[in-house]
Each structure stands twice: as structure tokens, then as C-alpha cells.
Amino acid sequence: MSFSAPIDNAVEITTERYAAILGATPSKGARSPTLWNAAFRTVGVDAVMHPMDTRPEVLGEVMAALKADPRYIGGAVAVPHKQTIGAFLDRLEPEAARIGAVNAIYRDGNALVGANTDGAGALSQIETLVGGPETLKGLRATLVGLGGAGVSVAAYLVGRTGSLTLANRSRTATNEAAERFGAVAVDYPLSPEVLAGTDLLVNATTVGHQDGPPGSPVAENLLEAMPDGAAVYDVIYQPRETPLLAAAKARGLATLDGLGMNLDQAVIAFDKANMGMLSLDQIREAMRAA
């Protein structure tokens, strides 16, 4: 049967259940349907993810139709709806509320719940990098960059590290984020003193794509100030080895790029919507194969 809400592309729903990615034009190449549908095949359930091209002015009507349809289990949210879709959901997970953006939805009974799995995906990878959540709890973390990705990661590091320090080119943005998350604000570029007190450095800026501005950790080799045994995580995954990660490896620090985060945000979203039908490792393997 066709979906009756006013989306801009026809959707024929023939499965017992379905998911959706809502955005401006996800029908023109969004990656989520490929990943989710691979996992559905692995689960062996009669379900599919549909891209739904949705204009902002009809978002509320579309969400009402999805909520009223018990076949809808949740899905993904793309631009330009991440900051506005929360108004049409029954509740938000605490991290999504702190971030102020939703990129995943799942059904909990008759309620639709908003989540933000970008930060959750990063957290999963960071825990792998440092040796697990218990190890992370004892680390002094410094996060650089407070755009969408950086704020998402900050929301998931709060309360999960020994301390959290934030830096951004705009000190106003740094101060606002530090107040929101209960973190420490410092200037960017980072000083040797800050890096000397950093066990985990997380980059969420474009410095990963380039050599960086004067005073960046790469340009000035400030990574020399970091303690032995420290770790560097970069949310960027193109290129896989950024100048920052190359410098960290040369320094002998543990490193990890953002490719796994990109996959795990979809893995975690699928797991929430499908209520543990597969383990995270099984979902990850199915999506990686796709």
C-alpha cells in the first residue's frame, strides 16, 4: 500500500514493517537504506527502509502519519530536519536533548523517541581505542571543534571521562558548550600545558584534512607535550590517516580514524529500532558487507 502522507516521492509499502529516512532528498542517494536493508536481510524479517523526501512545512504531518502506522519502527533523520523534528516526537534521549539534534528515531510502544547516534558511534569507537568504558572513565579528555559532530561527541563524553576540556576557534562557542556540558573551556589552538594534561585528544575540526593553522597540534608539533600512552581520535575518515593521526603515530600514541563512527551511528540506530534482534557485532558485519 502507498504511504499517504505528503512526501515528495511515491513510497509503496508492501512489507510487514518498515523504517524511513526523512530528509530533503534522501531518495537521491542516501546511504542509510543500503545499510539498514542489508541488516534486515540478515535478521530475516519482512521489513525495508524507505527514503522519504520531506519538505519542512509538511514534516509534522508526515510524523503524525508515521506514528499512527504501527508498521513504522523508526529510522534515520537527515538535513534539514535534525534540529526541528524533536518537536514532533514524544520524547528525546538525554544526549539528543543536550545536543539539540536528532538523527535517529525508534518506536517505544505508541511513542516515538528521538536519539542522536553520531555521538554514540564515536563513543563506541573511542572506548575501543582506549580499552573500554572503565578505562575511559579515568582519562582526561580534550575535544577540539564544536560544530555538529563535535557537540554530538561532547554530549556522549560527558560523565564518561575523568574530565572533559573543550576548545573551538570561537571562544564564545567554547564557553557556551562548556556551560551546557559542565566542561572546561580553553583557547584554541591548544597550549602545551593543556595537551600535557590530556590523555585522550578528540579532533572534530577540519584540521584533520590539512596541515592546520599556525599553532595547531600538527603545525607546531604540540603532540610532543602529550603524556606517553595517550590516544588521539579523529572523527574524519577521508583521508583515513589525517596529518593529525600521522603526527600522533609518529609520536607513538594510539590512534583511530572516524570511519567506524560513520558505520556505528547506523548500527546503533538500527539496534534501537529493532530492539536487539541482532547483536551489535552482527549488525555491524551485515552493514560493513553492504
Cell of 178: 562548556
Rounded Cα–Cα distance for residues 75 and 81 (Å): 13
Return the minimum-mean-pLDDT range out of 4-13, 136-145, 249-258. Answer: 4-13
pLDDT of residue 208: 55
Instruction: Map out the domains of the chain with their CATH numbers.
Output: 17-115+261-289 (3.40.50.10860), 119-257 (3.40.50.720)
Cell of 200: 585522550
Which percentage of the chain shows pLDDT scores above 90? 81
Counting every residue written for the chain, the total comes to 290
DSSP string computed for 56-121: GGGHHHHHHHHHH-TTEEEEEE-TTSTTTGGGGSSEE-HHHHHHT---EEEEETTEEEEE-HHHHH
Crossing angle between the packed helical segments 117-130 and 148-157, to the nearest 10 degrees? 60
Residue 42 Rama label (left phi>0; alpha psi -120 to 50; beta): alpha
Catalytic residues: 82
At residue 276, does pLDDT exceed 50?
Answer: yes
pLDDT confidence tier of residue 2, bands split at 50, 70 and 90:
low
Rounded Cα–Cα distance for residues 48 and 18 (Å): 5
Integer angstrom CA distances of residue 106 from 91, 272, 289:
11, 6, 24
Rounded Cα–Cα distance for residues 242 and 218 (Å): 10
Query: What does the pLDDT look like over 188-242, one tens digit per residue?
Result: 989 999 999 999 999 998 765 555 554 466 556 789 999 999 999 999 888 888 8
Task: Give the residue with greater pLDDT, 246 vs 20.
Answer: 20
pLDDT of residue 209: 55
Query: What does the pLDDT look like over 114-166, one tens digit per residue?
Result: 999 999 999 999 999 999 999 999 999 999 999 989 999 999 999 999 999 99
Rounded Cα–Cα distance for residues 120 and 155 (Å): 9
Mean pLDDT of 247-273: 94
- Supply the pTM of this predicted model: 0.86
pLDDT of residue 212: 55
Rounded Cα–Cα distance for residues 62 and 87 (Å): 13
